Amino acid sequence: MGHGRKKKRTHAVPTQEEFDDIPKTLVVRSGTVGRSVAALVSDMRQVMQPHTAVKLRERASNKIKDYVAVSNHLGLSHMLLFSQTETGTNLRISRFPRGPTLYMRVEKYALTKDCLRLQKTPHTSAAEFLTPPLIILNNFAGENKGREFKLMTTMLQN
C-alpha cells in the first residue's frame, strides 16, 4: 500500500519566535459573580482556545494586581475580566504590560448550553477549538465614529 502525502504547510510547528508573537489571553472573573456569568467566563475560555488557560482556578482573594504580576512570566498579552454589579455585567479587555483597557457593558449573551439545548441535533467537537478564533472587523470603525472606535479596532486587531 502507498503512503499518504505529508502535509507541510498547515501542520508546520511554529518556531519559538513565531510562538512568542502569538497573543495569549487570560479570561478571569472579578469579585462575586453569579452562576450564569461564571458559565460565560468558562465559555469564553473555550472560545479563546488554544492560547488561553482553560482550566484556570481562581480564588476569591485574587486581585487584578496578582494577574498583572504573573502576566510577564506566563507570556500573556491580553486579559478579559468579567465582573457583575447591580446594574449588569461588565467586561474589561486589557493589554499587557501597560496597554489600554477597554471597558464594556455586556447587554445580552447566550451560553453554550443554551444554544445546544435549542438545537435539534446538538453537535460539538473538540476539533472546533484547536484553531484560534478569527475576528473580522470590516468597516467596524467606519469613517466618522471617533477616536474610541479607532482605539478599539487597533486593540482588537493586535
Task: Compute CA distances 155 → 94, 141, 149, 152, whole Å.
Answer: 9, 12, 10, 5
pLDDT exceeds 80 at position 7: no
* Mean per-residue pLDDT, 77-106: 89
Model pLDDT, residue 105: 93
According to DSSP, the β-strands at 78-84 and 101-106 are unpaired
Question: What is the share, in percent, of the chain residues with pLDDT greater than 90?
Answer: 17
109 φ, ψ (degrees, to nearest 5): -155, 155
Model pLDDT, residue 82: 93
